Structure 1
Amino acid sequence: MTTLSPPRPLRGGGQPRKSYSAIPGESPGSPPWRALKSLLLLICVLLVVLPFVAIVSTSIADTAQVTKAGGFVLWPDNPTFTSYEALLSGGLVSKAMMVSVGVTVAGTAISLVSSIMLAYGLSRPGSFGHRPILILLLMSMLFVPGVIPTYLMVKQLGMINSYWSLILPTMINAFNVIVLRSFFMSIPGELIDAARIDGASEFSILTRIVLPLSKASVGVIGMFYAVTYWNAFFNALLFMNDASKWPMQLVLRTYVVNNASLSGGQVDVAAGVPVPPAQSLQAAILVLSIVPIVLVYPFVQRHMNKGVMIGAVKG
């Protein structure tokens, strides 16, 4: 006759792990528990989606409906794009969009190239000034210069009212360089040694071996830089005295956050068409400021987790 042995205790003398549920008497896989999780998830989705829907709906609602609602409209009865036409025809928003796109594209390219070259140099043991530069880079994450020294430096370089003042002060981010350096150090050294034996230069090793293996991390860092440049407004607030050179985010802050009124020269409507209400114009500015990033993000999102985790964790 076979006897059953008692269950073996867990290592360390602990007891078997119990399953807990937020609903008394129900397991996490039961239908009531799944229904509760679905309801909570639906509430979270609505909290995120409804404000965005309200902004878009208000931007395309007609004047009568916005006036009747006294503010935001959840669903427009007679959609119209008068607010967008008035803003883009007035010149202020269209010029700000061009400035933001130009600064974002140029700044991202310059920052990405500079960060890649610096990170690759710091990832090669024995490179010139390796340790002092790395220490300075780490110190820059702990000791940030204040607003006044930054302004005096930009003024001394003659970059007031220059687009370079929106790029150069934030050209290199220490955290992004550290992430790239960590990923470059994880690439097998045998590949780089073999390329050196074949007579490849450091630039050839970087462009033909390191970068093709680092597409995920480089793409994520590029996305970080692009979002930073697109959302930046403080540098423009400090260094741009000419309103015609304002980026989109400074226009957004001035006319939406500070609730400043748009003058007649900043909006343009056809003859006989009433000027859209302030709420519709502000909602349209907000939509125009977030649409470019919303369109670009899905193409980079699939690399986001992979790039950050590979570059930040070295095993």
Structure 2
Amino acid sequence: MSLKTIPVKTNTPSGTARPVRAKQTLRDRYGDRVFSITATVVLLLSILAVVYPLYFIVIASISDPNAVYEGKVWLFPSGVTIEGYQRILADSRIWTGLGNTAIYTIVGTTISVTTILGGAYALSRKDMPGRKFLMLLFVITMFFDGGLITKYLVVRDLGMLNTIWAVVLPGAVGVWNLIIARSFFEHTIPDELREAAQMDGANDFRFFVKMVLPLSKPLIMLMIMIHVVAQWNSFFDALIFLNDDSKYPLQLVLRNILIQSDVSSTGTTGGDIASYAAAQRIAELTKYAMIVVSSLPLMIALPFMQKHFTKGALIGAVK
């Protein structure tokens, strides 16, 4: 136990001043330090668990597959080669899929963000008739789904098979995102602001465009990030609803290339690779390179939007 004198003076009944002595135990002295060290170690281990797999994929994509199998690649690449990237980028299907994915991402994100913002603002208005009933209908869809067959039949009957609309429309409105946006509008846009705008002659549409949207930039960035990531990584709807190779998104193209590489490595199909070992080597190089190619655009763009993502998620959180 150690004693520490704090130069604080108090008035006694006699009117004299005396110093106050504070007692600090050994546990109090080192408790905060132990907690800080523990929290730092846990945080560093968490970061390592997230970052290292990404780093390993990058170095494995430019390393000799034999060295990867032998465990020689864990911190630095071994037998550096870019053959995997050369084979992928030389395939015209990659560029076609990249263009399709860019179109699907831009169109799908625009439709989703527009419908969610408009619908959420309408549901946040307390003077909207039947808004609770409408919100209940939206929430029900979060727990009950008609299934894949029903969804396919609806898309077919609407004439959207093998079109861009089969990829971007079925999941255009995410109910969870709608709830986040509605909560944002309810807690951020005061009714007094709308009443002041109406007194100046602004209708609901003009108020929404001129005042609500400029005040909702964090929410808009949050919605854009969520839907860009979802559309970029989406391949299941394209797999079900598209049958034209020229309309496949990048993820589906990479999937098909990976399957073909695996089949070639088993020797069931012919190709320009003579031996099984060489075919397996190319398949492994292609696999790691495809992961990097498909993830790199998002990894470059998302850090610049992270600030808006965090702010929008906190403001729009359900309270």
1:12-70: per-residue Cα shift (whole Å, max 9, x none)?
xxxxxxx9x9xxx994333x665554444333333222221221112223xxx323443
Q: Which residue is 2:282 aligned to?
A: 277
Task: Tell me if structure 1 keeps the 8 A contact 2:120–2:182.
Answer: yes
- Conserved in 2, the CA contact under 8 Å of 1:93 and 1:285? no
Greater shift, 158-167 or 39-48, is seen at 39-48
Instruction: Report the counterpart of residue 7 of structure 2 in structure 1.
Output: none
Deviations 1:116-150 (Å, cap 9, x if unpaired)?
A: 11111112233355344222212222222211100
Aligned counterpart for 2:305 among listed residues 278, 300, 309: 300
Q: How many equivalent pairs are there?
A: 284
Counterpart for residue 16 of structure 1: none
State the alpha-carbon separation in 1 of the partners of residues 123 and 38 from structure 2.
Answer: 51
* Structure 2: distance between partners of 1:197 and 1:234: 49
- Counterpart position of 1:123: 124
- Name the residue aligned to 1:11: none
SS of equivalent to 2:31: coil
SS in 2 for 1:229: helix
Following superposition, the deviation at residue 288 of structure 1 comes to: 1.2
SS at match of 1:195: helix
1:15 alignment partner in structure 2: none
Query: 1:189 and 1:255, CA in 2 relative to 1: closer, same or farther beyond 3 A?
Result: same
TM-score normalized with structure 2 length: 0.78
Cα distance per residue 1:225-268 (max 9 Å; x no partner): 111111222111211222332222223444558974479xxx99
Matched ranges for 1:204-223 at <5 A: 204-223=206-225
Aligned to 1:29: 32
Q: Distance in 2 between matches of 1:71 and 1:251?
A: 30
Q: Find the counterpart in structure 1 of residue 65 from structure 2.
A: 66
**Residues 105 and 228 in structure 2, CA contact (< 8 A), matched pair in contact too:** yes
Alignment correspondent of 2:142: 141
DSSP 3-state at the match of 2:145: coil
Q: Which residue is equivalent to 2:292?
A: 287
Structure 1 vs Structure 2: percent identity of aligned residues?
A: 35
| Residue 178 (structure 2) aligns with | 177
| Secondary structure, counterpart of 1:161 in structure 2 | coil
Residue type at the aligned position of 2:170:
P
Partner Cα distance (2:214, 2:318) in 1: 19
Structure 1 residues not aligned, in runs of 5+: 3-18, 269-273
Q: 1:213: how far off?
A: 1.1
Q: RMSD of the TM alignment (CA)?
A: 3.1
d(CA) in 2 for partners of 1:39 and 1:206?
47
Amino acid at match of 1:199: G
| Partners of 1:255 and 1:262 within 8 A in 2 | no
Q: Tell me the amino acid that sits aligned with residue 229 of structure 2.
A: V
Higher relative contact order (CA 8 A, sep 6+): 1
CA contact (8 A) 2:60 2:68 kept: no
